[in-house]
Structure 1
Amino acid sequence: MASDADSGRNSTAPTGPVVRNIVLRADVLNRLDGVLRADVFVVCAPAGYGKSLAMAAWLDSRMVEQVAWANLGAVGESASRLWSAVIDGFVRMAGDDGELAAVAVLADRAPAEVPRRLAGWIARRSGPVVLVLDDLHGVTGPEAHEQVQQLVAVSPAGLHIVCITRHDPPWPLHRMRLDVRIDEIRTDLFRFDVASTMALFESLDLSLGPAIATALVDRTQGWAAGIRLAALGAANSDDPEGFVDGITGRTGYIADYLLKEVYQRMPPAWRDLLIRVSVVDVVCPELAEALGAGVDGEATLVQLAREHAFVHELGDQPGWFRLHPLLLDFLRSRIHDQRELLDLHRRAAQWYADQGRPLVALGHAISAHDWDAAATLVGRHAVTWTVCRNPFELKRILDGVALDEVLARPGLATGAAAVRAMAGLTAEIEGFAVAARSRLDTCGSARPRLELLLDLIDIGYRRWTGDVDGMLAGCRRVNTDPAALAGSGLTDWPVIGVLVTSNTGSSELWTGEIEPARSHLIEAATATAGPPIMLPVLNARAHLAYLQWRSGELTSADDRAREAIAGFAEAGIPAAAHAASAYLALVGVSLDRDDLDAADAWVQAAAASAIEPHTLLVLAMMRVRILLRRGAAYDAASVMRDAVTGTGFDVVPAALRREAEALGSVVAAYVDSGSGRRGHVDAPALPDRPTTRELVEHSLAVASNPAVDQQIRTELIDRALAAAAAEDLRRPFLERAEQIRDLLAGRIERGSPQADFALGLLRRMPSEGRRTADDGRFVPLSAREMEILHHLVGSMTISEIAGALYISVNTVKTHQRAVYQKLGVSGRREAVTRARSLRLL
């Protein structure tokens, strides 16, 4: 809740801040209730966090009557000035008092006597007395602090001392926490959150959306003064949200506050250190020394953190410090000498490179315009930065470099090409690669390393442009001998072998070399070289999932695809082009299990990542199969026609083109039949070691042929059911529903180990609304009635049917009567005969 009322305590503490236009936060006020339960209450936070305002607001809201407010910001070393300020506060609280006047004399002549005399005066007052020592950090004299501690030691029960300070006073707080009733609140409690930030703006009649408020809280880290100053600036702006969105440490109000309240109050040595370390995001003493801050950097950083001067030590990295982002931005604006700035970045780049932090070193080398150092770093670490992690991170860094500088240096040009090759950004790969190759003569000992990288880039380029045969040939030319790779000078060189193996398996999959593909993809998918999440491993898992789907291993394909997709999401690239095969595998699994809604959803995900001509063709074929299953044969024909006449069809591997042409023939058969039925298709030859899909499809193709002996057809149906049931592989049966429905019904009637799976298939086969032999019509059966009808085929009793369907016997009888009525029959056997004549079974 916001308040714009004055303090109301002018007669008791006029030197306290006036409470106006602040957000009265319940969590802060409730925590300050501890003041009246403690002897000493420490309120410690950096400048501008609203410590004094919060205390004044609490005193107002709790209507504390006896308050002495002493402003100590200008006391310095003098104990006399300290006690004069305190006594003035008590005079404003209690009015003129002879005893206080006598104590005031002691403040000048014998300040050490004041604590005892003042405690005696307070003890004679009734009710609680709150003494607020505001800006206690302004007291620098050891004797003054010792005398305040004496007051604490002799204070009467009714006295509650509040210390408002930017840093801990030099008191033995660790002992006082044991010996004295002491309580304390610190910076975190005073940080504004999104809700309180929006409430502050509302109190000023300003509207601030949640997204802008969140960004402001993040940028200011909840710093109260920064948020209030942003609000003041917004109130005077024609575009308040735009003003807030652009807040930095250089913004007028904020820069002025940081200059006067923080920067100018620091000793010159502190300012120099902060200016130097402002070129880095985090700093340790060794880095500060490398940046020219001197050997006392550690002591200064520790002191800055201790005094809450907008510097804090990282909790998970002891010895490392971070500056507040607004102060960091302000300090960077104070470096006006460009040569000094470049030198600081050069020093930082060298230090990070020496410490084995090359990516951070690269950023500073680029900021230092040290292009040769940057090119060397990229050339050595390109595999790490593009293969072992999200390549877009390096792309972001290199995109900040002028194009001429990149093209002029083979190391940078190679890195730019590698980023695009791993990310699937085909448009610019060739230009960067050509520029790098044209200057290899200038690279000296780095040339073999860059040549290897350019060969790998060429493999990626061929992949994305659909030249799978060229991709496979390129993989087979790369020397993956560990000794050769180790001598390349590349970091994470073992990953290159995984990269080549993964791409070899991917190529073989699309060219139809299934068994070699399986072997290579398994090897790459289970590789342990390098970090746990790297693109070649994820690529192999995605392609292996697609291969397993093609083979009818639906459970394994589903698991592997989801594993790959989770890995891409963890790497920050859920829609990576490498992930397309995993999404396509899940489309196929959903389609095979007749979950068309899930298939549609996975199609959308695949469409967001597929860019290769072969994956785009497979995506089109998946859409065709879904449309056929939905009975939209003409729409399927349109999609198929666009796929085979598109510009990418001629470049896909021959094996995939043949598959597309075969599917086109199936679509044509559906269209020509005029009823959406698939005619008989001759069975393909069965390989010596058939996959689950090959075994099921071959068995069903033969069983669908009415010229084959009935006993053989029945045995083949049994074989197909046995192979398909474990994987829930339904689509091959559903595509031949017209030819095998009666065979399935017969197997259910006579009993089958896969009766439940077969019954589920029958339920999914179109049956409602068919014509009778005399072209009459019947009333369609409901889904539940169809379920009852299928159970009536066998020898199950009414009670057994009720138990199987988890419904009551009476419910079964009700549905049974409805079935008889709609079929125009009077008994069970007659119902089955009639249903078969209607091709419901």
Structure 2
Amino acid sequence: MAEPAGPAEQQGLALLASKLAPPEPAHATVLRRRLLDLLTREVQRSPLTLISGPAGSGKTVLASSWRQSQGAGRPIAWVALDEYDDDPATFWSYVVEALARGGVRLTEVAALIPGKPPAASLIPRLVADIAACPRPIVLVLDDGDHITDRSIAAGLDLLLQRAGSRLRLVVCTRADPLLPLHRYRLAGTLSEIRSDQLSFTPEETRTLLAAMGVSVTAEVARDLCAEAEGWAVGLRLAAAPLKQGVPPERLVTSLAHDDGSVAQYLFAEVLEGQAASVRRVLLRTSVTPELWPDLVDQLTGRRNTRRVLAGLARANAFVEESPGSPGGFRVHPLFREMLQAQLAYEHPGELAGLHRTCAAWYAAAGRTQGAVGHAVAAEDWGFATRLLIDDLLVPRLLAHGTDTAMRGLQSLPPGLRGAEAAVIRVVAALAGGDHPAPSDLAVSMGAQDDGNRLPLRISATLACLAAGAGTDSAGTDGAGTDGASTAFLTRLDAAAALVAELPDHQQRARNEAMAVLSHLRSLAVLGTNAPTRQLLPVLRAAAAAAHTAGARRLRCRAVGNLALLEALEGHLTRAARLALEAEALAAEEGADESALDPAAATALAWVHLRRYALVEAREWLGRARARERAAHPDAIGHGALQAVLQGQHFRLRHEYELAEQVLRPHLEGPPLPRWVAEQVVTEVVRLAMARGHVQDGLAMLRDRGRDEPWSRRLQASVSLAAGTSAIDVPLGEQPGGSAAEMVESTVVRACQLLERGLVTAAAEELAVALERARPELLRWPFVDTPPQARRLLRTHPRLQAPGAWLNPSSGAQPVGAGERAAAPAASEVVQELSERELEVLRHLAEMLSTAEIAATMFVSVNTVRTHIRSILRKLAVSRRNQAVRKAREHGLL
């Protein structure tokens, strides 16, 4: 028996059955349980549920999947709309038929004739019939944006209001329907599922691709999801090129440029249907990722284009309001890529002008990065380089070693004239480890005196100083600092005064420039013959300045060199902590092992050998030597100190020829700075003593040692080996004397007493030396000493208990290592404060305000602020209370 005809068929209207049922599921449809559960909750809660999103976002798939998941227990009517249904009679004919198929028993319905408005009784009759149903019914309207007739919207509104809880309406649409949504929102009777909820998550992306026969890693799925911003069709279209073998990493970088599928879809579904004026707005604004109304007006040559953008956003045409930026809009990146390609195809001659417009707008808005990007895209290199100089790229690049702006300047024409271009090329070469062109250096030197451009003067000065750091700062006259070093340090002082002229709002650039200058100063003094006690404060200042500027690369180098000097001084615990901090900083930078600075590894090798931990010393020495091969050209002394360590290992094994081979190049090569030369000469002399060449050792000291404390200690040791008259040994207790000096001096005096037969006195001296060396576990002076002294250490009752820690297997630990290890490593780097700064610091500890401190000290508020900034920089902290706390930790208060 045939089924009874529906209401519309009884009236002679031909309805398409395919529009009254959901479409067949797409291939490999993924049921997203979170969305199905969400839609279930929203339908139960609200009479009207809006599923709104751009083309291809999965609206229809969600609604049809949800319909199937409900089973037969819930009556659901379905109508798929198109442009031909924007007629009241046609629209209501489909609704009536869908309700009838959904289980609503309809009484007599007035005739619906296309082109004529429905009878006034239609809506009341439908309300009555729906109310008579035993269960509420859900009506799904797919592609609801095709309905623009206001009478249809009014009828739907009336139907929803009168039907109450018996009807649930679900509308799938790209643009908001003409229903009075504001009223529904106020009444709390509207639920909305928008684009952000429809977007695929990375996990759902991976599941979708797997269902389509493409297996990808979680990382690739995450990156693809981010590139498509969760857009369903974009992710589906990505499966085809992946199946064809396109590497996922290439597809991730530009999904819109895969095989054309995404671009074709967007062109056909979104762009092609737009009015010519709207297309013009979309194409011309595609050059910028941010759409600000006044910028868009300039790009399009028309006013009040915000209405166009707002309309596109409401229509879900892949344009949306920028989150957190009132008044701004953004375009979906895939849609923007398609628009850019279309612009280049249709209007290639307009691209440069549009980018110049953007560059000028961003520059005027103080958005330098964006301005530079557009200037580069327009190939307006003069404007780009000027922007970068004014933005103080040079101190930023020298401080951090890299900057995002440099990526756009890789195509900077090598012959581009101008001081700005020359300075940038110099710094780019230095950042890449290359030598700048002499012509660029010459132009940069001249730019230092450009009186009208402070950023250019600072940039040129820093570039020239950084380029000359490896040659201009070397001092070798043996008097502390030679003429070249003095001149270089004077230039650094002048540059610091120039940087101080930067206004307060450029504090970050000022900090970065000061970090660079402090770094260059540390390199300059490391290359001189200044004593170690003068080098340490400079390195601490460099580390503190780098910390203030957030320049991990410079801080790593300063802390590594500081660790090395502390190790030479015998402050082994402090040196190890600083070296490990430098290693941690390098790890944060993500550099390869072979590219790391060798200073920290050399320091740790020195620390372990001084503690006679030979296995660890050899391991760190191997790492230091591996790093030395790729060390920065301005690295000072590391190779020579590694040779000393290697020579000491060889000497312990009596491999004297090998020891001499590694030491000779550094002894006979270019002059070394004092702090390095001391160690090289000392080891060469000790090697001569070990080989029995005592006179050679004495001759070396007469030639190289002069009358310095370290030389006198060594001469005394050589004299003991030669059996000659004893030489007075410095006590090592003078101000500034290091822990290593004091211990070594005491051991030598003990050996002299032992040589005279004064065993008890020698034992007392060794006991003093043991007490001084115990906190740092400084074993080396007791290992590298005459055999009779070592024998006394083993046999004399007075030395048995105090010397037990000399055995590496004793388990002894440095005194206080546990407590100090818990403190931040950065706390060790503290630059000495002036008297006025200490006075200000005391007032800060008393909780006085800046004005109160100024009144107490009879100085201006600005002077107090200057002192406070200096205190924060020197203590490597960012806040006043941190400065007070750190000062107390170091006994400054």
Question: How high is the TM-score relative to the length of structure 2?
Answer: 0.70
SS in 2 for 1:279: coil
Equivalent pair of 1:506/1:543 in contact (CA under 8 Å)? no
1:696: which partner in 2? 743
2:890: which partner in 1? none
Equivalent pair of 1:603/1:619 in contact (CA under 8 Å)? no
CA offsets, 1:75-96, max 9 Å, x none? 786555543443343345459x
2:524: which partner in 1? 507
What letter matches 1:21 in structure 2? A
Q: How does 1:239-250 map to 2 (within 5 A)?
A: 239=246, 241=248, 244=251, 247-250=254-257
Question: Which stretch shifts more, 356-365 or 219-228?
Answer: 356-365
Q: 1:11 to 1:223 in 2, by over 3 A?
A: closer
1:457: which partner in 2? 463
Q: 1:21 aligns with which of 18, 25, 28?
A: 28
Q: 2:364 aligns with which of 343, 354, 368?
A: 354
Q: 2:353 aligns with which of 327, 339, 343?
A: 343
1:477: which partner in 2? 491
Equivalent pair of 2:458/2:495 in contact (CA under 8 Å)? no
Equivalent pair of 1:551/1:694 in contact (CA under 8 Å)? yes
What letter matches 1:412 in structure 2? A
Equivalent pair of 2:75/2:138 in contact (CA under 8 Å)? yes
Q: How does 1:29-40 map to 2 (within 5 A)?
A: 29-35=36-42, 37-39=44-46, 40=48
Question: How many aligned positions are there?
Answer: 743
SS in 2 for 1:429: coil
SS in 2 for 1:334: helix
Equivalent pair of 1:480/1:496 in contact (CA under 8 Å)? no
What letter matches 1:132 in structure 2? V
C-alpha deviation, 1:690, in angstroms: 0.8
Equivalent pair of 2:77/2:99 in contact (CA under 8 Å)? yes
Q: Is 1:282 aligned to 2:280, yes or no? A: no
Which blocks of at least 5 consecutive residues in structure 2 are unaligned?
1-16, 476-483, 694-713, 721-728, 813-893
Equivalent pair of 1:482/1:494 in contact (CA under 8 Å)? no
Q: Is 1:415 aligned to 2:424, yes or no? A: yes
What letter matches 2:474 in structure 1? V
Cα distance in 2, alignment partners of residues 615 and 474 from structure 1:
17
CA offsets, 1:479-520, max 9 Å, x none? 527665567999745754553333222321343423332333
2:375: which partner in 1? 365
Equivalent pair of 2:372/2:405 in contact (CA under 8 Å)? no
Q: How does 1:212-223 map to 2 (within 5 A)?
A: 212-223=220-231
Q: 1:605 to 1:205 in 2, by over 3 A?
A: farther
Cα distance in 1, alignment partners of residues 42 and 233 from structure 2:
24
C-alpha deviation, 1:342, in angstroms: 0.9
Q: 1:665 to 1:78 in 2, by over 3 A?
A: farther
Cα distance in 1, alignment partners of residues 602 and 663 from structure 2:
16
Equivalent pair of 2:358/2:374 in contact (CA under 8 Å)? yes
Cα distance in 1, alignment partners of residues 809 and 678 from structure 2:
30
Equivalent pair of 1:129/1:158 in contact (CA under 8 Å)? yes
SS in 2 for 1:55: helix
1:707: which partner in 2? 755
Q: 1:574 to 1:454 in 2, by over 3 A?
A: farther
C-alpha deviation, 1:672, in angstroms: 9.4
Equivalent pair of 2:447/2:460 in contact (CA under 8 Å)? no
Q: Is 1:89 aligned to 2:98, yes or no? A: yes
C-alpha deviation, 1:171, in angstroms: 5.3
C-alpha deviation, 1:50, in angstroms: 1.3
2:434: which partner in 1? 427
2:77: which partner in 1? 68
C-alpha deviation, 1:452, in angstroms: 6.1
CA offsets, 1:204-250, max 9 Å, x none? 33343445434322321221111101113444x36475874564324
Q: How does 1:26-425 map to 2 (within 5 A)?
A: 26-35=33-42, 37-39=44-46, 40-64=48-72, 66-74=75-83, 78-94=87-103, 99=107, 101-102=109-110, 109-110=117-118, 114-169=122-177, 176=184, 179-180=187-188, 182-235=190-243, 237=244, 239=246, 241=248, 244=251, 247-251=254-258, 252-292=260-300, 294-336=302-344, 337-380=347-390, 381-405=392-416, 408-421=417-430, 423=431, 425=432
Q: Is 1:612 aligned to 2:624, yes or no? A: no
Question: Which stretch shifts more, 458-467 or 119-128?
Answer: 458-467
SS in 1 for 2:330: strand
What letter matches 2:807 in structure 1? L
Q: 1:124 to 1:704 in 2, by over 3 A?
A: farther
Equivalent pair of 1:310/1:323 in contact (CA under 8 Å)? yes
Cα distance in 2, alignment partners of residues 222 and 635 from structure 1:
67
What letter matches 1:383 in structure 2? V
What letter matches 1:50 in structure 2? G
Cα distance in 2, alignment partners of residues 643 and 32 from structure 1:
79
Cα distance in 1, alignment partners of residues 632 and 576 from structure 2:
22
Q: 1:764 aligns with which of 791, 809, 813?
A: 809
Cα distance in 2, alignment partners of residues 305 and 47 from structure 1:
13
What letter matches 1:505 in structure 2? S
Cα distance in 1, alignment partners of residues 765 and 667 from structure 2:
42
SS in 1 for 2:288: coil
Q: How does 1:610-759 map to 2 (within 5 A)?
A: 611-612=631-632, 615=635, 618=638, 621-622=641-642, 625=645, 633=653, 641=661, 645=665, 650=670, 653=673, 655-663=675-683, 685=730, 688=734, 689-703=736-750, 706-707=754-755, 709-729=758-778, 732=781, 759=804
Question: How high is the TM-score relative to the length of structure 1?
Answer: 0.74
Equivalent pair of 1:549/1:589 in contact (CA under 8 Å)? yes
Question: Which stretch shifts more, 645-654 or 475-484?
Answer: 645-654
Which blocks of at least 5 consecutive residues in structure 1 are unaligned?
1-9, 766-782, 785-841
Equivalent pair of 2:473/2:523 in contact (CA under 8 Å)? no
Cα distance in 2, alignment partners of residues 92 and 696 from structure 1:
101
SS in 1 for 2:261: helix
SS in 2 for 1:480: helix
SS in 1 for 2:537: helix
Cα distance in 2, alignment partners of residues 647 and 288 from structure 1:
69
C-alpha deviation, 1:661, in angstroms: 4.7
2:850: which partner in 1? none
C-alpha deviation, 1:332, in angstroms: 1.2
C-alpha deviation, 1:431, in angstroms: 4.9
What letter matches 1:368 in structure 2? A
CA offsets, 1:19-59, max 9 Å, x none? 43122233333333325523333323322121211222232
Equivalent pair of 1:12/1:93 in contact (CA under 8 Å)? no
SS in 2 for 1:41: strand
SS in 1 for 2:200: coil
C-alpha deviation, 1:660, in angstroms: 3.3
Cα distance in 1, alignment partners of residues 406 and 656 from structure 2:
40
What letter matches 1:612 in structure 2? H
SS in 2 for 1:376: helix
Equivalent pair of 1:395/1:416 in contact (CA under 8 Å)? no
The share of aligned pairs that are identical, in percent, is 25
Question: Which stretch shifts more, 374-383 or 107-116?
Answer: 107-116
Equivalent pair of 1:70/1:89 in contact (CA under 8 Å)? yes
Equivalent pair of 2:564/2:600 in contact (CA under 8 Å)? yes
Q: How does 1:777-788 map to 2 (within 5 A)?
A: none
